[in-house]
Amino acid sequence: MSKTIVSVPKKNNSVWRMCFYELNDDDEYRFLTQKINSLLVWFYKLQKLCNDICIVCDRQFQFYKKRFESRIDVCYECEPDEY
């Protein structure tokens, strides 16, 4: 099972939650939320799933970005050597 974290909101100034998609055994995605410890919030907030459009082939692709990394302009299929 794999998780794709979407956001980490705080609800009513009290409880931090992690919103994510989970891939189950039937290859279907489910949207779930889970309470998390306040010390883990910054770890989950630093990892983002970003959407972008490739400059070369004009297709949309997704990638994980950390806080201080720059955005990617070319998809993995157009330039596989770079990644």
Whether 19 and 52 map to the same domain: the answer is: no
Whether 52 and 68 map to the same domain: the answer is: yes
Q: What is the pLDDT of residues 27-59, one digit of tens each?
A: 788 898 889 888 888 877 776 677 778 888 888
For a pLDDT cut of 70, what percent of the chain falls above it? 89
Look up the domain containing 31 and give its range. Answer: 2-45
Of 26, 19, 34, 33, which Cα lies nearest the Cα of 1? Answer: 26
Contacts of 2 (CB under 8 A, 6+ apart): 22, 23
Could you tell me the pLDDT band of residue 67, with boundaries at 50, 70 and 90?
low
Whether 23 and 56 map to the same domain: the answer is: no
Contacts of 21 (CB under 8 A, 6+ apart): 3, 4, 6, 29, 30, 31, 32
Q: What is the identity of the amino acid at 30?
A: R
What is the model's pTM?
Answer: 0.54
Q: What is the mean pLDDT of the chain?
A: 79
Whether 54 and 32 map to the same domain: the answer is: no
Whether 21 and 52 map to the same domain: the answer is: no
Number of folded domains that form the chain: 2
For residue 9, pLDDT over 80 is answered with yes
Whether 37 and 54 map to the same domain: the answer is: no
